[in-house]
Amino acid sequence: MPKLKRLAALIRHHILTSSTVAGSGHLTSSLSATDLMAVLFFAGFFKFDVKNPKNPNNDRLIFSKGHASPLFYSLWAVAGGFDKRELNTFRKFGSRLEGHPTMEFPFTEAPTGSLGQGLSVGLGMGLAARLDKLSYKTYVLLGDSEMAEGSIWEAIQLASFYKLDNLVGILDVNRLGQSRETMYGHRIQAFQKRIAAFGWEVIVIDGHSFAGIKSAYQKAGRVKGKPVMIIAKTFKGKGISLVENKEGWHGKVLKPEELSKALSELGKVNTKETGQLTKPLVRKPKQIASRAAGTLSYKKDDKVATRKAYGNALVRIHAKYPQMVVLDAEVSSSTYADGFKNAHPEKFFEMFIAEQNMAGTALGLSQRGKIPFVSTFAAFFSRAYDQIRMAQYAMATIVFTGSHAGVSIGEDGASQMGLEDISMFRSILGSAVLYPSDAVSCEKLVEEAPKHKGIVYIRTTRKETPILYKNDEKFPTGGSKTLRQSSRDAATIVAAGITLHEALDAHDKLNKEGIMVRVVDLYSVKPLDMKTLKKAAKETHTIITVEDHHIEGGLGEAVASALSPVDGKVYSLAVSKMPHSGRPEELLEYEGISASSIVKKVKEVVRNAKARA
């Protein structure tokens, strides 16, 4: 105990000095959890080879309350993870020690800072440990303020469903939020009753009693068949009288003249002292060799929905990607992910209707070496945008697939129509957005997706569509397919998904009237095939984009933006009216993205060109 108390004082010393040097940071939020983390690290519970952060059997620590980064970095400095002098670079441009943990820092498991997400990531890591038959535990430090987030409770109920006894939550109940007391303040029983009701083992402690904290971790290690939540009553700013349990100090640090007084309250501190982490057992996951994926066998006259092709592809490519896992939000019979569930039930995770937790869990799985394929209706990914946004900062490879996209889903109505999804995923840094138009292209793009380092979005269609391509056709990310062209093309129609078939129908109708148009399948909305688009703009002078998506941020805006420096006109046909229930063909006509609408626009372009001539 004496050494633990000395190390806790040393950690507080580093929290105080690094935040004052930085001139900003979350001092008080760090001090409240210092004792909890000091005992976890240095009393033998947290098993980690500090010289090998990539050891697959290291325990995992996630700061869901990522604003407590001064504590996070100080812990690892005292554990010998890096030179303590680097703490003085905290929050400076170019430093690995950013305001909230990022992957620049080698001991960060996942980027945090957007509250309410850490437990989902930990859940994913717990599932990965079970899948790999590894003994590591995942610890998640939570703040009481973020317990208001729904994603936390999504994770709590699912961790209980999967009986994840390798997941330990540590709830730092320090009473004070940013602007006021938290919802339950220090009413610990409110948290205890709620979390226990979900089936967790709950251990309530004084978060500043070293004996109590140590006992809690010992009990947590003996629990089988359920996750554990340690609920600790703490005080924000603990150990420093100026700030302890005082309102108005969230996100504020001590001034230099206040620092010396605060440090004196810690007593004598040996800044050269370090703590020792216990190394884990040496275990590695079983390596499964990659084999060739199966072959496709679609026939020319087949009509297959791309959502069904997605399901077919998951089963077909499993041999090629043995680390793949599939997550679905209880719509697998519609997304056709159920084919994989039946073939590989141990690698399929039912996430139920809780999309935020599904995305966060996928990140946790990805960070432990899995390749998650995540599916639901395209419209419902908007709920999980924050989790998807955070995954980009993890540089994670996750394949999201949204089915039932666009007004072409028909009678289900506006609430089910994904009309913002392309825009959403295009805005993610380094993402790829893929939009297949037939079963062959869909299967090939699903197979191609894991090769992309970053977030991938595949947009699938509810309605059956004709086969357009041969089974051996290649579909590299960033490509396109020119399906119709001539030397007399008056315009180029650029489309993808359901509207590509409308464009081909329009081409045939215009051809009968002697009007030639080029048709491009822009299956890769991001990145774009600039070579093909520039060539089309140069040769036909007019580009007409057609999409079953809102015009804002969709395929049309992507093309128009890319071609802005290039001569030629770009016109966009997209969903611009409030959609309603109806037959797919009625809705395509109503929104002006049907074959007849394309014919009308092409004729208008040709007529205007003749008038100018």
Q: What is the pLDDT of residues 517-536, one digit of tens each?
A: 999 999 999 999 999 999 99
Q: What is the pLDDT of residues 100-130, one digit of tens each?
A: 999 999 999 999 999 999 999 999 999 999 9
Rg (CA), the chain: 28
In 449-515, alpha helices (H): 498-512
Query: Would you tell me how many other CB atoms lie within 10 Å of the CB of residue 107?
Result: 18
Q: What is the pLDDT of residues 570-587, one digit of tens each?
A: 999 999 999 999 999 999
Which architecture does CATH list for 303-466?
Answer: 3-Layer(aba) Sandwich (3.40)
Query: Can you tell me whether residue 507 is helix, strand or coil?
Result: helix
> How far is residue 435's CA from residue 449's CA, in Å, rounded to a whole number?
12
Q: What are phi and psi of 534, to 5 degrees?
A: -65, -40
Residues of the chain with CATH 3.40.50.970: 2-265, 303-466
| Residue 590 in this model has a pLDDT that exceeds 80 | yes
The highest-level CATH class for domain 2-265 is: alpha beta
Nearest Cα to Cα of residue 191 among 143, 239, 123: 143
Q: Can you give the pLDDT at residue 610? A: 86
Query: Would you place residue 50 in the very low, low, confident or very high pLDDT band (cuts 50, 70, 90)?
Result: very high
Q: What is the pLDDT of residues 229-252, one digit of tens each?
A: 999 999 999 999 999 999 999 999
| Residue 568 in this model has a pLDDT that exceeds 90 | no
Q: Are 341 and 326 in contact (CB under 8 A)?
A: yes
**Catalytic positions, written as ranges:** 355
Q: What is the pLDDT of residues 416-454, one digit of tens each?
A: 999 999 999 999 999 999 999 999 999 999 999 999 999
Q: What is the mean pLDDT of the chain?
A: 97
Nearest Cα to Cα of residue 125 among 27, 57, 193, 187: 57
Nearest Cα to Cα of residue 557 among 514, 523, 512, 525: 525
| Residue 613 in this model has a pLDDT that exceeds 80 | no
> How far is residue 251's CA from residue 236's CA, in Å, rounded to a whole number?
12
Q: What is the pLDDT of residues 372-423, one digit of tens each?
A: 999 999 999 999 999 999 999 999 999 999 999 999 999 999 999 999 999 9
Residues of the chain with CATH 3.40.50.920: 481-612
Q: Can you give the pLDDT at residue 567? A: 87
C-alpha separations of 290 from 287, 320, 386 in Å = 9, 5, 33
Nearest Cα to Cα of residue 527 among 446, 392, 429: 429
Instruction: Write down the CATH number for the domain with range 481-612.
Output: 3.40.50.920
Nearest Cα to Cα of residue 123 among 216, 47, 60: 60
The arithmetic mean of pLDDT across residues 14-32, rounded, is: 98
Query: Would you place residue 609 in the very low, low, confident or very high pLDDT band (cuts 50, 70, 90)?
Result: confident
Q: What is the pLDDT of residues 482-509, one digit of tens each?
A: 999 999 999 999 999 999 999 999 999 9
Nearest Cα to Cα of residue 563 among 571, 553, 551: 571
Beta bridge partners of 229: 169, 202
> How far is residue 400's CA from residue 132's CA, in Å, rounded to a whole number?
23
C-alpha separations of 585 from 499, 548, 597 in Å = 11, 12, 12
Q: Are 433 and 478 in contact (CB under 8 A)?
A: no
Q: Can you give the pLDDT at residue 217? A: 98
| Residue 301 in this model has a pLDDT that exceeds 90 | no
The arithmetic mean of pLDDT across residues 156-171, rounded, is: 98
Q: Can you give the pLDDT at residue 27? A: 97
Q: Can you give the pLDDT at residue 455? A: 98
Q: Is the pTM of this model over 0.95?
A: yes
